[in-house]
A and B are shown apart, each in its own frame.
Chain A
């Protein structure tokens, strides 16, 4: 299964609506980097509103994706992390440091604009 990546002007939008398994996550990582390369996008918003569970591996992949995208010159914002997911991540000791976050897609886009503009 592949996760659709939408292009909106110079941004890429991804809403993850299924529980990620390891394979899908890695596939997603490849797809996203490919897409950034092809489109030259400057910003990426990954929306996790409908994700109920994130394990340590998925968290690592997400952190990697953010760092890789940054290397390729695209800023990434994670949005809509659910309270339960946040608590799990903190309990697992995964702080996702240096990863910008926002409450929802709208604020995520605002944040991207702000970061790219500034």
Chain B
């Protein structure tokens, strides 16, 4: 970067700093940072400022490790990306206004303006990318976690297994349910599978379609499905939507389903003396 600019920065450092701190204080509420103590906020601002300034002197056109580390730390503490971007934008505004005050030649001002713009934009971009990456990471981790919780098949008795479903069922999850169901049937040698939909909030045509498909597939590999946990409102929606579940047995609760599953495998539970 132009030596002149750096000189100008160093000369006016205190003024830039003061004005910047003022600006940052005024935008504090926008970033929902009221619950952070005044001192912590101020310390962070000072650190942020020093990093930007150090960066400036090193004369680089991209965010360095120091800045990305700082950003990462803030993200982990739950600060928003907008704090960083607005901080940088404020910084730019202030140095530009300082620049206009000190420099009189308009062509020079324009050159410097251009220079500063070119310096600060890639940094902002990089911070945004960094934050986007951060989010994508979180989302993908949660996706994996969700998948693990998605469709467990639990063998309860010999030849009887239960698959409790909780939460909304989309196409992707339905696929997973079908796979787990079928491999589970083979693995546990189940004859009867109880699919419990107590925890499924909405059963629309798509969900019903997926469940019907899954139970048809289960029938093909040689077991039978019983759909249990049908709540009154679910029964109403199913009938109102005209979904035909007549081809496979349904029961209102897991308990009743288990009873008929035991009947189907010719067993019963008796009390001991």
Contact = CB atoms under 8 A, between A and B. Distances in A.
Interface of A: 78-83, 85-87, 89-90, 95-96, 101-104, 107-108
Nearest to B219: A101
A114 to B, nearest CB: 10
A82 B218 CA distance: 10
Contacts of B182: 83, 86-87
15 contacts: A78-B220, A78-B222, A79-B222, A80-B221, A83-B186, A83-B221, A85-B220, A87-B182, A89-B220, A90-B216, A90-B217, A102-B222, A103-B191, A103-B222, A107-B222
Contacts of A85: 220
B179 A107 contact: no
User: Chain B interface mostly helix, strand, loop or mixed?
Assistant: helix
A82 B220 CA distance: 9
A104 B179 contact: no
Interface in B154-176: none
Interface of B: 178-179, 182-183, 185-186, 189-191, 213, 216-223
A80 B191 CA distance: 13
A82 B217 CA distance: 10
A90 B214 CA distance: 8
A87 B179 contact: yes
Ranked 4 nearest A-B pairs via Cβ: A83-B182, A103-B222, A86-B217, A102-B222
Contact of B222 (A81, A89, A90, A95): A81
